[in-house]
Amino acid sequence: MNELAVRSLMSRLKSDPRNLLQVESSKHQIRVDHSIALTDGEFAARRAQFYVLSVYQQAELFFADLVDDLPQGLIWKSASGKAARGKEEPQLDWIVRTIKIEKPDELDKERDAEFFDDVCIFSYFRLVRNAFMHEGKETRALGAARDALVKLHRQRSEELGAAKGNARERDFIVPNAYSELQFSDFILFTRVVKSIARRLCRALKPELDSLLEHRYSYDNHYGLRKYLNREDRFESACRTRLSIDYNLTEAEISYSIPKLKKLVAAKRP
């Protein structure tokens, strides 16, 4: 909707941008610096940068919530030495590194090549975010990161041509340079984040009993306790809660409901 509105406005501004912008500004009582005259390309890049920022923020919140939801999440966050998150270490890099420590066979460079490619693309967009938030920062790093993606794309294309690479869900697409970002880069970043999220959830899925004990208890029951004396309502509430929180299968939900009832009904120690 936003992009449609912006493109409609831009098409109307082409004939006399400064005067029409003043008219629109006055009409909607929104102050605009009329001295700024962005080209279509510059404005498109600026919009795309804003979109990328919004996706990046949601991704970082997801990573933080993912760790909080893990039974071992507190152990991760309180770790020391090599297992601790580095002061400047990006959150995603830390999560991936910790998975490699805890589950060495879970993420494989060849089997999960698409995932690691997505991590590289995410890292590029992290630099885009940093450059936007801190003007002039990461300029050299952005160029180097994009050059590395171009090289990786060439490598993946050669592997595909030689039938050496694993099948991919999506084509490998190199994002545009910072000053040339487009709406398509926002779409690419969104798909990359979703793909990374799905793979992390599979990699970190805990044992069901451990998950229930960590997530639901007398003190953390999400309103389920009030339904304890009404079995049908309790079961319905549990199904809704488990589906929303973890998208469990029907078999997993059926297994979880009696366990959940004991946890929610248990008295404080």
Residue 105 and residue 202: Cα distance in Å, rounded? 13
Same domain, 54 and 82: yes
Indicate whether 173 and 185 sit together in one domain.
Answer: yes
Across the range 14-23, mean pLDDT stands at 71
Percent of the chain topping pLDDT 70: 86
The pLDDT value recorded for residue 269 is 42
255 Cβ contact partners less than 8 Å away, ≥ 6 residues apart: 208
Query: pTM of the entire structure?
Result: 0.79
Give the confidence band of 44 by pLDDT, cuts at 50, 70, 90.
confident
Q: Band the pLDDT of 148: cuts 50, 70, 90.
A: very high
The pLDDT, as a whole number, for residue 162 is 67
pLDDT attached to residue 220: 64
pLDDT tens sequence across 243-269: 887 778 899 999 999 998 888 888 554
Mean pLDDT (whole number) for 74-93: 90
Query: Are 143 and 213 within one domain?
Result: no
**130 band by pLDDT with thresholds 50, 70 and 90:** very high
Do 120 and 166 fall into the same domain?
A: yes
**Is residue 95 located within the same domain as residue 160?**
yes
Residues 91 and 199 in one domain: yes
Q: Residue 244: which domain range?
A: 208-265
Same domain, 80 and 107: yes
The neighbour count for residue 160, using CB atoms within 10 Å, is: 15
Instruction: Specify whether 50 is located in the same domain as 120.
Output: yes
Question: How many other C-beta atoms lie within 10 A of the C-beta of residue 128?
Answer: 26
Single residue among 173, 204, 235 that ends a domain in this structure: 204
Tell me: do 153 and 131 sit in the same domain. yes
- Domains of the chain: total: 3
CB count, 10 Å around CB of 10? 15
Residues 21 and 153 in one domain: no
pLDDT of 218 over the 60 cut: no
Answer yes or no: do 141 and 249 share one domain: no
Res 151 pLDDT > 50: yes
For residue 173, what pLDDT band results from cuts at 50, 70 and 90? very high
Q: How confident is the model at residue 235 (pLDDT cuts 50, 70, 90)?
A: very high
One domain for residues 76 and 135: yes
Mean pLDDT of 14-25: 72
Q: Which residues contact 202 (CB under 8 A, 6 or more apart)?
A: none
